[in-house]
A and B are shown apart, each in its own frame.
Chain A
């Protein structure tokens, strides 16, 4: 294992400390328990939005704390949900009296820890609502699994719900738009290489030189099937087919096309993949109204990508275009 780290046990603390120093204009980092809070939180009368989860998915979630997106992010250990204590502390830190929304990726640990924190916050008189994202179509049979996972669609939920909160929407309204975005987003990912959790020191799974894993989540957890590496266009088709099958589009409908890198894939490959995805959508008469390409929700150094398609309506477009100022996304301000 070659990584730019000191003590494997201190990776998250030291990285988050660096993040706080680099972005002191946007956030303040608080320790014991660790959380990243928007610099001007709490904002009176604004719905607070808290997200979090295991570390290793950077820039998710701390990279999205700031104007127009999250009010706080709670980083857990690498690939491990944070405990309820920091989630509760973050919830209290961003409560401006209008209630707090928890955006939670559907993984058993995240759901259980955020649930416990929400109960504790409610006991302290804070109104908390939760939206659990589950955009991953790789999980076919929700009945016999822990359900579809929350993956790259989470970034879109955070941006759009964040814009709704920033313009002054009520907690009910922010929850409604977050749920609508989640219900309208579908994602599917693949991995060319595994990733190495620092404290484990070994790859989370092994792939032969010519093998790829289709249907991975964002933790290096194995996906649904292994196939031989194929040309990029075919890989894009493999990801788009189940997405479009799961949420069909009428000709003329609008979409946000999000091609995401898993951490170890360069932009040159992501744009190459985007080119094919755009071609497929054009053939089907789907209008790409907005797009996002880059490493926005990752699995450490994993090589791979995911494709997310979000079916857009006018309000979602307006909220997507609204100003945002965070470490990882910023425009319009």
Chain B
């Protein structure tokens, strides 16, 4: 054997094992502090445990990209973090794998079978629960002089005469319609009953009052990291947003912000498995770990979103202060959860069915409203 062939075979031997473990799973999520919490909470631990590389990809929601991948036959995504509405639409369109829930997902550490351990039934057969999060609003305590009289209700957000300044709101209808109706006096628990009955127009009128008031005005955010940025930069005096992002800005970045929980919208977030993804089998295994009791509890170590499993809360409570970051040290996380009793005195529970069914009308009305503002 010549020296060269020896070298080549040696190289081949060295390369072979690393190639065998080169399995990858591509997980798509919302970026920023949230993806970071998922990566630290269960992505990295799973990678270490299984040797499967977990890649995190950012997106800003919606099904268009995966739909385009499926249509062109070049699917690169395995797991997607989606709104409930999109699990329903995508499942109906056959984009995602349908689960056999109790067989596909492990029981909780408390011994409860998966379907009982998750807080709520899944909105579609393709969804597996991930977190409960909240849409609420926050303000900058430094930038604006409220004379010690800080906003504490949803009415205050919609009252530019009392608290003048620009508001930053989500760029889609979701959350804005609910907030507007609550501010207009609709009981939080009945918001969606009103929607059927001229509620969209009523909500849009309320938003028009806010956005066209010379003392108010609206700007729109589309990525979760934007609201805290806009509050800190002074571009907006109040901003709706996701509680975990506000929490991150307050705790980790020391931003002088405060959240208002009145009229918050509790919403669920889900994982789906792409049908025909590049690594469907590995992805399924990864997903099982991500959504296990420890997995979901893991992400709550890094962000103030409540895990979807009851047993994950047990894991957290047994070990408070659970949250940890370099900047803030250890923090008790339960009081900051969107589900904490103090935060749920007056809340709306998101109705994804309503959005999935009426998607077109809601969006047409919303986009026309926005363009004619």
> Are both chains from one complex?
no
